[in-house]
């Protein structure tokens, strides 16, 4: 029997390659139904991949790029689009270059995918949580107690440890460590950060977007990051696309020293001197708030200013202009792994050969978010994990056909 443990997108892609080649793999998963994280990904619009230049696309995997390259060459963004189309789901490129199915949904696509897998001979054993592995015996916890299986080959696709209630809880790290495999500690990726706000600010503005701002900071390697975009004020701090894109570098800064201050230009399309001039105009009998509002300074931006400046400084147009152009946002820490969109760290690539097979345990492969790489949101995660599912399944085919 060929087993795939983990019915997320990485494991399902491996099942597709194997079942299309005439092998009938059995997919085990701890949860009652498959690919729960993939389904949740569809909630905000299933971002399958990205349409930017391929070289730029590959650079999004940071220092893991060379290790991810075989998966990306073998399952490129255009392969991802053809794959969705082969299931009957046309895709489109959004304004930011992100690629979605036409209806942006995950559920119909997943239903069709699983239907096709079953039609091709893939079997599913749900509510089977893999707990241990000794020699040839693989043990699973099930509602009928512990069950033992022996396999000819195994693909582990167990995911990271974010959103653990969806099935991936990172428990596999202990089992694989016991086998002498090296594992980089699991950390949050694409997560929010904690900022200390006043209670008044939190009550009024948590959940508010902060649109059209420019974020800037220098990373631990001395590289300046500066990007226009949108972030979200959360109950505990900040989150949203502009923050997630930089979360790896901000996390690294906090690991070196916390708190860490990044800067926001709250009016990137006006210069400091323009702002100063506008703020210095006569306001007559208008209240400060009404005067600011006329300049476009109101809501969350005005209240942020009140978070860092004393009341008697708010009439100092030079200081206010300076602060609006370089607003210090002090990050105390990052949000926990359970809340993050994805996981950094994991099983190190040095344990694996070029087909993602464990060097010390031939015929056991590992793929997807459980491996030690990270990428920002934007479709890079799904492309990476499905590419690795394909890479390992093709390696296993070679092994089964005696070519390896
Ligand atoms: C809210 C949210 C939105 C997202 N949106 C996007 C997006 O739009 N685009 C994008 O590219 N990515 C997105 N992602 C990330 C993407 O969903 C993941 O990177 C991807 O699902 C990882 O695939 P995987 O197969 O490696 O792991 P998973 O999807 O985590 O699947 C692993 C499977 O293994 C099972 N498992 C774990 N341990 C065991 C065990 N011991 N025994 C048996 N089974 C086990 C789990 O139940 C799970 O089904 C999003 C993530 C979240 C949380």
| Residue 273, pLDDT above cutoff 70 | yes
Q: Give the phi and the psi of residue 93 in degrees, each rounded to 5.
A: -100, 120
Same domain for 274 and 357, yes or no, is no
Same domain for 345 and 326, yes or no, is no
The pLDDT tens digits of the residues spanning 9-53 come to 999 999 999 999 999 999 999 999 999 999 999 998 999 999 999
Beta strands (DSSP E) in 205-281 are: 209-218, 224-233, 237-239, 260-265
Show which of 300, 316, 334 is a domain's final residue: 334
Give the mean pLDDT of 252-279: 97
The pLDDT confidence band at residue 404, using thresholds 50, 70 and 90, is low
CA distance 12 to 34: 9
Protein residue with least CA distance to atom 5, ligand 1: 41
**Residue 93 Ramachandran class (φ > 0 left, ψ -120 to 50 alpha, else beta):** beta
Q: Is the CB of 378 under 6 A from ligand 1?
A: no
End-to-end CA distance of the chain: 19
Substitution candidate for ligand 1 out of 125, 168, 247, 343 with most atoms within 8 A of CB: 168
Indicate the number of domains in the chain. Answer: 2
Give the mean pLDDT of 173-183: 97
Protein residue with least CA distance to atom 53, ligand 1: 341
Same domain for 273 and 346, yes or no, is no
The pLDDT tens digits of the residues spanning 103-135 come to 999 999 999 999 999 999 999 999 999 999 998
Q: Which atom of ligand 1 is nearest to the CA of 166?
A: 47
Residue 107 Cα, ligand 1 centroid: separation in angstroms?
Answer: 14
Nearest of 117, 109, 114 to residue 45 by alpha carbon: 109
Q: Is the CB of 344 under 6 A from ligand 1?
A: no
Confirm if 331 and 247 have CB atoms less than 8 A apart: no
The pLDDT confidence band at residue 290, using thresholds 50, 70 and 90, is very high
Same domain for 98 and 205, yes or no, is no
Same domain for 348 and 243, yes or no, is no
Residue 58 Cα, ligand 1 centroid: separation in angstroms?
Answer: 21
The pLDDT tens digits of the residues spanning 44-103 come to 899 999 999 999 999 999 999 999 999 999 999 999 999 999 999 999 999 899 999 999
Q: Which atom of ligand 1 is nearest to the CA of 368?
A: 26
Same domain for 345 and 321, yes or no, is no
CA distance readout (Å), 346 to 169, 323, 339: 12, 40, 17
Mean pLDDT of the chain: 97
CA distance 239 to 18: 39
| Residue 180, pLDDT above cutoff 80 | yes
Same domain for 178 and 278, yes or no, is no
Report DSSP letters for 70-100, one per residue: HHHHHS-HHHHHHHHHHTT--EEE-TTSEEE
Helix ranges (DSSP H) in 21-166: 36-41, 54-59, 65-74, 77-86, 107-119
Range of the domain at 314: 193-334
Which CATH number belongs to the domain containing residue 171 in this structure? 3.50.50.60
Same domain for 30 and 60, yes or no, is yes
Protein residue with least CA distance to atom 34, ligand 1: 6
Q: Is the CB of 379 under 6 A from ligand 1?
A: yes
Show which of 288, 306, 334 is a domain's final residue: 334
Substitution candidate for ligand 1 out of 40, 158, 171, 342 with most atoms within 8 A of CB: 158
* Pairing state between β 153-156 and 2-5: parallel
Residue 118 Cα, ligand 1 centroid: separation in angstroms?
Answer: 20
Same domain for 49 and 184, yes or no, is yes
Residue 403's pLDDT is what? 73
Same domain for 172 and 216, yes or no, is no
Structure tokens at 246: 């930089």
pTM above 0.75, yes or no: yes
Same domain for 19 and 133, yes or no, is yes
Residue 38 Cα, ligand 1 centroid: separation in angstroms?
Answer: 6
Residue 113's pLDDT is what? 98
Q: Is the CB of 213 under 6 A from ligand 1?
A: no
CA distance 189 to 377: 9
Same domain for 372 and 347, yes or no, is yes
Percentage of the chain modeled with pLDDT above 70: 100
Give the mean pLDDT of 213-238: 97
| Residue 246, pLDDT above cutoff 90 | yes
Show which of 334, 361, 385 is a domain's final residue: 334
């Amino acid at each position: 029997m060929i087993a795939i443990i983990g019915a997320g997108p990485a494991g399902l892609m491996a099942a597709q390659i194997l079942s299309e080649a005439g092998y009938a793999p059995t997919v085990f998963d701890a949860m009652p139904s498959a690919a729960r994280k993939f389904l949740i990904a569809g909630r905000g619009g299933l971002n399958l991949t990205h349409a930017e230049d391929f070289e730029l696309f590959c650079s999004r995997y940071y220092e893991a790029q060379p290790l991810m390259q075989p998966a990306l060459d073998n399952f490129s963004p255009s392969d991802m689009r053809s794959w969705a189309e082969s299931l009957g789901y046309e895709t489109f490129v959004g304004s930011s270059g992100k690629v979605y199915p036409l209806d942006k949904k995950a559920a119909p696509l997943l239903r069709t995918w699983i239907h096709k897998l079953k039609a091709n001979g893939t079997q599913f054993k749900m509510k089977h949580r893999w707990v241990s592995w000794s020699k040839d015996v693989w043990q699973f916890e099930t509602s009928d107690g512990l069950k033992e299986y022996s396999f000819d080959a195994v693909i582990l696709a167990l995911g990271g440890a974010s959103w653990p209630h969806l099935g991936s809880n990172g428990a596999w790290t202990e089992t694989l460590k016991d086998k002498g495999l090296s594992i980089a500690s699991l950390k949050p990726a694409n997560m929010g950060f904690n900022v200390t706000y006043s209670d008044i600010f939190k009550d009024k503005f948590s959940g508010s977007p902060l649109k059209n701002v420019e974020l800037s900071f220098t990373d631990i390697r001395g590289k300046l990051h500066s990007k226009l975009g949108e972030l979200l004020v959360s109950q505990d701090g900040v989150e949203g696309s502009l923050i997630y894109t930089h979360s790896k570098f901000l996390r690294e800064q906090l690991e070196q020293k916390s708190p860490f201050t990044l800067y926001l230009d709250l009016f990137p399309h006006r210069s400091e001197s323009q702002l100063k001039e506008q703020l210095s105009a006569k306001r007559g009998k208008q209240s400060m708030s009404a005067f600011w509002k006329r300049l476009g300074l109101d809501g969350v931006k005005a209240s942020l200013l009140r978070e860092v400046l004393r009341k008697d400084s708010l009439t100092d147009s030079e200081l206010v202009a300076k602060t609006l152009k370089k607003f210090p946002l002090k990050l105390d820490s990052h949000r926990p792994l359970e809340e993050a969109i994805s996981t950094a760290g994991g099983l190190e690539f040095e344990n694996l050969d070029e087909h993602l097979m464990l060097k010390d345990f031939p015929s056991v492969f590992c793929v997807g978010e459980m491996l030690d790489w990270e990428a920002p949101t934007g479709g890079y995660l799904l492309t990476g994990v499905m590419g690795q599912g394909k890479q390992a399944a093709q390696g296993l085919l070679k092994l089964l056909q005696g070519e390896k």
